[in-house]
Structure 1
Amino acid sequence: MLQNIISPVFIFQFVAVVVSLTVHEFAHAWTADRLGDRTPRVAGRVTLNPVAHLEPLGLIMILFAPIGWAKPVPLNGANFRHPRRSLLLVAAAGPVANLILAAICVTLLRFVPPPTSFGASVNDFLLQLLRWGFIVNVSLFVFNLIPIPPLDGSRIVASLLPSRLAYSYSRLELYGPFILFLFVLIPPLRNQIFLPLFATALNWVASWLALAPWMV
């Protein structure tokens, strides 16, 4: 265990996860603040300080287990002029921020020369950091769009549904975390349903980012 923690790969993963989760939560908080809800600002969440956003247990879980989390950004929908639209934008802000970070990483990868005898350590460090940044951010983008509460995808779906259906759908909030844990922790559900669907979406987004003509 100790050998894994002090390995270079773990360090790259740790940095990528901390930065990606921080930007994800900051995007939620900043968007809500811009749309009129000062609740995240009062809670000290409109910041890029990782301490404000990271949950120690959630961070450990995401590094060593199949699932993890950060501190949810507090919101008050009554402060929005257009609550449904604003909540949709706030929910989408986190995954979109991860998609932008992934795009930045894959773009910068094109400009980092392969390691040579001169400057090999610097180039290899940049390559590994950008690769893990790309992998982590694409993973967070795809995972958070799953329409199961409390993930962002469920907030987006609820904002698009008619009021009655949105209310019924929101009742899944009580069971959402358990459903997620079932899909992730029970081998048949994980291996035959969750992982194939997740891997397909992950590969599609990764391929699209790497081949997008506006990034060449």
Structure 2
Amino acid sequence: MTTAAFRRSDRRISPVFVGIVAVMAVTGWATWTGFAEQPGLAVFLFVTAAWIVSLCLHEYAHARTALHSGDISIGAKGYLTLNPLKYTHALLSIVLPVIFVIMGGIGLPGGAVFIERGRIQGRWKHSLISAAGPLTNVLFAVVCTAPFWLHALDGVPLAFQYALAFLALLQVTAAILNFLPVPGLDGYGVIEPWLSYGVRRQVEPFAPFGLLAVFAVLWIPSVNTVFFDLIDSVLGGLGIDDLQRYCGQNLYRFWQSTDQFCTVSR
């Protein structure tokens, strides 16, 4: 018998997601070829679209893993269509992360797929569902940085290199922040099934404020320095140097004056 969870329409890729991918492809081409009058505008649109695509894939990974773990209600909720408008909190998963990228160049973790945990048996399955999202960011970062750690940058335009470097920065920050064992973040979701019932009940009221607490702590200068030193170390290990990362963010924020070190030839 066909149920709502297994209708083909529940798994068909949304035109909304296809449109976002199309914007990413067109602006990526414009960044590569230098077609745009302002390279910074092309970088801005390309990175923003690619960032939204990664957010959709992040939530899709949670949903798909939950489906295979036993929550067959996922399909009816529309999470398998990659449509960001289907998320429980589109503001938290899409709008705020984009605003944070524009304002500060940091990958804000999202989290807006409602999973019926009662349908899922086994602590490992629960942990894997939580880990699937940030692991998608890790994979995205590896793909973005492949030309750098493979030393295959010959022929890759500077603007495109800088765009990939900044996009990788967003993926790495999102992955690290998401993996923090803080209530409300995926890292806590990974360890939560292994905690005692009493501990989980005590921690549960703090979950809505976990992300806010993380950003409040990041405002502490010493913590902020350690955090971004860690980001720089990871990016360095992936072949991206400070100049590439800096120029990527500089081009992305095209409405500001472009640093002379980050000019790209047309």
| Other structure's SS at 1:113 match | coil
Matched, 1:104 2:143: yes
Give the C-alpha shift of residue 51 in structure 1: 4.1
Structure 1: 5+ residue stretches without partners? 116-122, 212-216
Deviation string, structure 1 residues 148-186 (Cα, Å, up to 9, x no partner): 2311112123233233323323332143244235335xx
Task: Give the 3 Å change call, closer, same or farther, for CA 28–113 of structure 1 in structure 2.
Answer: same
Give the C-alpha shift of residue 62 in structure 1: 2.3
Give the C-alpha shift of residue 204 in structure 1: 3.6
Give the C-alpha shift of residue 17 in structure 1: 1.5
Normalising by structure 1, we get a TM-score of 0.74
Counterpart selection for 2:99 from 61, 73, 82: 61
Q: State how far apart, in whole Å, the 1-side matches of 2:84 and 2:98 are.
A: 14
Structure 2: 5+ residue stretches without partners? 1-37, 241-266
Q: Which residue of 2 aligns with 1:131?
A: 165
Matched, 1:206 2:206: no
| Other structure's SS at 2:114 match | coil
* Number of residues of Structure 1 aligned to a counterpart in Structure 2: 194
Matched, 1:147 2:185: no
Give 2:183's aligned amino acid. P
| Other structure's SS at 1:46 match | helix
Matched, 1:29 2:63: yes
Q: State how far apart, in whole Å, the 1-side matches of 2:193 and 2:237 are.
A: 27
Note if contact 1:39-1:74 (Cα within 8 Å) is conserved in structure 2.
no
RMSD: 2.8
1:144-183 pair list within 5 angstroms: 144-183=178-217
Q: State how far apart, in whole Å, the 2-side matches of 1:180 and 1:113 are.
A: 39
Normalising by structure 2, we get a TM-score of 0.62
Q: Which residue of 2 aligns with 1:119?
A: none
Counterpart selection for 1:113 from 154, 162, 169: 154
Q: State how far apart, in whole Å, the 2-side matches of 1:139 and 1:177 are.
A: 13
Structure ID, larger Rg? 2
Give 1:30's aligned amino acid. R
| Other structure's SS at 1:146 match | coil
Note if contact 1:58-1:69 (Cα within 8 Å) is conserved in structure 2.
no
Q: Which residue of 2 aligns with 1:80?
A: 120
Q: State how far apart, in whole Å, the 1-side matches of 2:226 and 2:201 are.
A: 27
Q: State how far apart, in whole Å, the 2-side matches of 1:91 and 1:98 are.
A: 13
Deviation string, structure 1 residues 106-162 (Cα, Å, up to 9, x no partner): 1144434245xxxxxxx4454344323322211111111122231111212323323
Q: State how far apart, in whole Å, the 2-side matches of 1:113 and 1:48 are.
A: 34
Deviation string, structure 1 residues 39-85 (Cα, Å, up to 9, x no partner): 33221111334444553532442233457454511111111121x32
Q: State how far apart, in whole Å, the 2-side matches of 1:160 and 1:197 are.
A: 29
